[in-house]
Amino acid sequence: MTKVYTFANQKGGVGKTTSVVSIGAFLAVQGRGVLVVDVDPQANATSSLGLDEQLAESLKRGEKATVYEALIARTPVAQIIQTTQRPRLHLVPSSPVLAGAEVELVGMVARETLLRKALAPILKHYDYVLIDTPPSLGLLTVNALTAADDGVIIPVQCEYLALEGLGQLIHTINLVRDNLNSRLVVAGVVLTMYDTRTRLSQEVAGEERRYFPKQAFKTVVPRNVRLGEAPSFGETILTYSPDSTGALAYAALTDELLAGEGK
């Protein structure tokens, strides 16, 4: 059965997109069929997965359908999916035009479930669907949470005030579970940008494990320059720098996710 995970945190720059594309790449290299769904108007997951320049420009000009058309115009997702450089790793792309969707969705019937309904016909073709979200708790994120039958994964940056605002995210998750998606749970919390040299990272890690004693992943993602460089080359960390500490961490995190599903 297809596993559907949403990666969410209303704070920006915490590693949501890096986590989505990195875990997606490591799942694909292990033989799983993976679909990344980019629901962020910044379209960072789209650019990170190395779509060729001509296609990227077509998306920016609105000449190719994106997740926006799936939500607003009800274009079948099967017509929108793009292949990537990694076999078995596919993408539902985004573009800046999606920024207007928050306003357009307000007047729509069952607006919170549009993404779930759009994805339903293609789920059988994939082992995993990983949804990247914007740094907000608006209707796009709510749609992503409503579609996440196997839970939400929360990346938490190892910096000051990292846990601030998580209470609001958990409140939103609880509201979605109570009203829209009864299967929604926190599937995992992953520490990102961890620096073993600083007391601050260790303190944030301790607080995170106290806050999420059961959901915290044992694997932490270190602060690693290669992780930041990879998207500028349109590559995942798996192909850009497979021996880097960032790649090794995401390989271990992917294995931990798979092992947890077997329990």
The tens place of each residue's pLDDT in the chain, 263 residues long, gives 999 999 999 988 899 999 999 999 999 999 999 999 999 999 999 989 977 566 667 766 767 789 999 999 999 999 999 999 889 999 999 988 899 998 899 888 889 999 999 999 999 999 999 999 999 999 999 999 999 999 999 999 887 777 777 888 999 999 999 999 999 999 999 999 988 888 888 888 888 888 888 899 999 999 999 999 999 888 999 999 999 999 999 999 999 999 988 55
Nearest to 151 by CA among 119, 121, 179, 181: 181
Strand partners, 154: 189
| Long-range contacts (CB closer than 8 Å, 24 or more residues apart) made by 61-66 | 62/95, 62/97, 64/93, 66/38, 66/92, 66/93, 66/94, 66/95, 66/97, 66/98
Eight-state DSSP code of residue 254: H
- Summarised one tens digit per residue, pLDDT across range 90-104 is 999 998 889 999 889
Query: What is the model's pTM?
Result: 0.94
